[in-house]
Amino acid sequence: MTVEIICVGTELLLGNIVNTNAAFLAEKCAALGLSSYFQVVVGDNRERLVQTIRTAMERADIVLLSGGLGPTGDDLTKEAAAEAFGRRLVEDETSRRQIEAYFAQRGITPTENNWKQALIPEGAKAIPNRNGTAPGIIMEENGKYAILLPGPPGELKPMFTDSVVPYLRTLEDEVIESVTVKVVDIGESRAETMVSDLMENQSNPTIAPYAKTGEVHFRITARAAGSKEAQELIAPVAEELKNRFGSHIYTMEEDVTLEKAVADLLAEKKWTIATAESCTGGLLAARLVNVPGVSEVFHAGFITYADEAKQNLIGVKEETLKQYGAVSSKTAEEMAVGAAKAAGADAAVSITGIAGPDGGTKDKPVGLVYIGCYVDGKVRVEEYHFTGSRLKIRESVVAAALVLLRNSIIAQ
Where in 180-239 is the site for a second copy (CB under 8 A)?
Answer: 208, 210-211
- Segment interacting with a second copy (CB under 8 A) among 102-110, 197-205, 241-249, 309-317: 309-317
Residues binding a second copy: number (CB under 8 A): 77
**Does the protein bind a second copy through residue 39 (CB under 8 A)?**
yes
- What is the rounded CA–CA span in Å between residue 97 and residue 334? 63
Smallest distance, a second copy to C-beta of residue 293, A? 7
Residues in contact with 223: Cβ distance below 8 Å, sequence separation at least 6, in sequence order: 33, 174, 175, 176, 204, 230
Provide the b/e sequence for 323-362 (b: ≥16 CB within 10 Å).
ebebbbebbbbbbbbbbbebbebbbbbbbbbbbbeeeeee
Specify whether the backbone of 80 is left (phi greater than 0), alpha (psi in -120 to 50) or beta.
Answer: alpha
Residues 241, 256: contact at Cβ < 8 Å? no
The burial of 405, by beta-carbon neighbours within 10 Å (0-12 exposed, 13-18 middle, 19 or more buried), is given as: buried
**Between 111 and 412, whose beta carbon lies closer to a second copy?**
111
**Between 92 and 394, whose beta carbon lies closer to a second copy?**
394
**Does the protein bind a second copy through residue 15 (CB under 8 A)?**
yes
> Of 269, 268, 266, which is closest to residue 298 (Cα–Cα)?
266
**Between 13 and 233, whose beta carbon lies closer to a second copy?**
13
Q: Which of 189, 204, 213, 312 binds a second copy (CB under 8 A)?
A: 312
Which residues from 235-294 bind a second copy, rule CB under 8 A? 275, 277, 279-286, 288-290, 292-294
Kindly calculate the radius of gyration of the chain based on its CA atoms and give it in whole angstroms.
26
**Between 39 and 202, whose beta carbon lies closer to a second copy?**
39
**Does the protein bind a second copy through residue 43 (CB under 8 A)?**
yes
**Does the protein bind a second copy through residue 318 (CB under 8 A)?**
no
Residues 381, 343: contact at Cβ < 8 Å? no
Residues 277, 283: contact at Cβ < 8 Å? yes
DSSP state letters, 228-288: HHHHHHHHHHHHHHHHHHGGGEEE--TT--HHHHHHHHHHHHT--EEEEESTTTTHHHHHH
**Between 18 and 246, whose beta carbon lies closer to a second copy?**
18
Smallest distance, a second copy to C-beta of residue 292, A? 6
**Between 119 and 373, whose beta carbon lies closer to a second copy?**
373
User: Residue 294 has what DSSP assignment?
Assistant: G
Q: Any bridge partners for residue 379, and if so which?
A: 374
- Segment interacting with a second copy (CB under 8 A) among 7-15, 94-102, 119-127, 229-237: 7-15
Q: Which of 30, 175, 224, 321 binds a second copy (CB under 8 A)?
A: 30
Which residues from 346-405 bind a second copy, rule CB under 8 A? 355-359, 388-392, 394
Q: How far is CA 365 from CA 34, 195, 216, 278, 399, in A?
A: 47, 35, 27, 16, 20
Residues 13, 41: contact at Cβ < 8 Å? yes
**Does the protein bind a second copy through residue 108 (CB under 8 A)?**
no
Smallest distance, a second copy to C-beta of residue 302, A? 6
Q: How far is CA 335 from CA 149, 286, 320, 328, 372, in A?
A: 50, 18, 11, 11, 8
**Between 91 and 308, whose beta carbon lies closer to a second copy?**
308
**Does the protein bind a second copy through residue 36 (CB under 8 A)?**
yes
Which residues from 141-160 bind a second copy, rule CB under 8 A? 154
**Between 83 and 277, whose beta carbon lies closer to a second copy?**
277
Q: Which of 45, 202, 231, 329 binds a second copy (CB under 8 A)?
A: 45
**Does the protein bind a second copy through residue 49 (CB under 8 A)?**
no
- Segment interacting with a second copy (CB under 8 A) among 21-29, 79-87, 99-107, 191-199: 21-29
Which residues from 61-90 bind a second copy, rule CB under 8 A? none
Smallest distance, a second copy to C-beta of residue 154, A? 6
**Between 235 and 300, whose beta carbon lies closer to a second copy?**
300
> Of 245, 292, 242, which is closest to residue 264 (Cα–Cα)?
292
**Does the protein bind a second copy through residue 13 (CB under 8 A)?**
yes
Q: Which of 8, 22, 56, 118 binds a second copy (CB under 8 A)?
A: 22
